[in-house]
């Protein structure tokens, strides 16, 4: 496998898609954050943290603060 080289515009688009994915995942799991995932191994909040490297509550607070500015 070769390395992927993005133009500046492509890299910007990739970052935006990653941010959008995280935002929509957070919205999707917010109400069910304390429920278990279908495999019953972890809560949805823990799933979010594992997937995105940031606790759901912390992300939500950061986004709320950003929206207020």
- Answer yes or no: are the C-beta atoms of 69 and 58 closer than 8 Å: no
> Alpha-carbon distance 25 to 12, whole Å?
20
What does the pLDDT read at residue 29?
97
What local confidence, expressed as pLDDT, does residue 41 receive?
92
This prediction has a pTM of 0.83
* Three-class SS of the chain: CCCCCCCHHHHHHHHHHHHHHHHHHHHHHHCCCCCECCCCCCEHHHHHHHHHCCCHHHHHHHHHHHHHC
In tens digits, what is the pLDDT along the chain, a chain of 69 residues? 555 788 999 999 999 999 999 999 999 999 999 999 998 899 999 999 999 999 999 999 999 998 888
Please provide the size of the chain in residues.
69
């Amino acid at each position: 496998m070769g390395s992927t080289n993005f133009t500046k515009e492509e890299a910007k688009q990739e970052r935006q898609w990653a941010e959008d994915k995280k935002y929509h995942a957070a919205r999707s799991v917010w109400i069910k954050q304390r429920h278990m995932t279908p495999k019953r191994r972890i809560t949805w909040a823990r799933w979010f943290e594992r997937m995105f490297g940031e606790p759901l509550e912390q992300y939500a607070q950061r986004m709320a603060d950003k929206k207020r500015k």
